[in-house]
Amino acid sequence: MRTARKKMTGQEALHVLLAGNRRFVSGKLEHPNHCEESRRGLVAGQEPIAVVLACADARVPPVDIFDQGLGDLFILRVAGNIVNDHILGSIEYAVAHLHTPLVMVLGHSSCGAVSAVAQGVRLEGHIASLTPSIDAALKRTKGQDGHWTDNAAKELARATARKIADSEPIVADLVKEEKVLVVAAYYDLATGEVVVL
């Protein structure tokens, strides 16, 4: 059952998500806010605690990864967790009108979009619009220790988070006023763990 929620800071919301991820990793899920009463309570409006910009990859479901429920997360998904005007507009709506205190960009291991660009696969149609941001992350991480495409996925999440935090006027102003926290994070498919970058 959904209870009245106190206004959270970005740090408090981040703590809630990471605690939920620890439950997910340990298999001790609570599945909050999945009942009929919670669903009905959301008809009049929403107060998500976080915006999560995640990859569209079917293996990366934010509600499950963070053990959250109906109305808890404002989720945007696009291959490679790339930001564009439509994504930014949606984030602006969440932080300015829904007063969501946290924006998380969630990269992940074994990202197919990053791997395809790294392998030089020719992306056609609208898929090609993903290439420039991914390619930039690949170039910045070439030669680093560790797995190249996973390093690039982390760098892509960081770069996207910086773009969002610097987006003027709405998001950048709320970040300066400390009303919104923007973070990059990384989900390991093998362990289930999310780490803040």
Instruction: Encode 55-90: b = buried (16+ Cβ within 10 Å), e = exposed.
Output: bebeebebbebbbbbbbbbbbbbbbbbbbeeebbee
Q: How far is CA 66 from CA 26, 47, 100, in A?
A: 12, 17, 16
Residue 176's pLDDT is what? Answer: 97
What is the domain class of 10-196 according to CATH? alpha beta
> Vertex 36, ends 97 and 63: CA angle to 5°?
55
pTM recorded for the entire structure = 0.92
Residue 2's pLDDT is what? Answer: 46
Beta strand 102-108 with 194-196 is unpaired
Residue 4's pLDDT is what? Answer: 52
Summarised one tens digit per residue, pLDDT across range 31-53 is 888 667 777 776 777 799 999 99
8 A C-beta contact, residue 119 and residue 152: no
Taking the domains of the chain in order of start, what are their residue ranges? 10-196
Residue 142's pLDDT is what? Answer: 95
Regions in the chain scoring below 50 on pLDDT: 1-3
Q: How far apart are CA 195 and CA 17, in angstroms?
A: 11
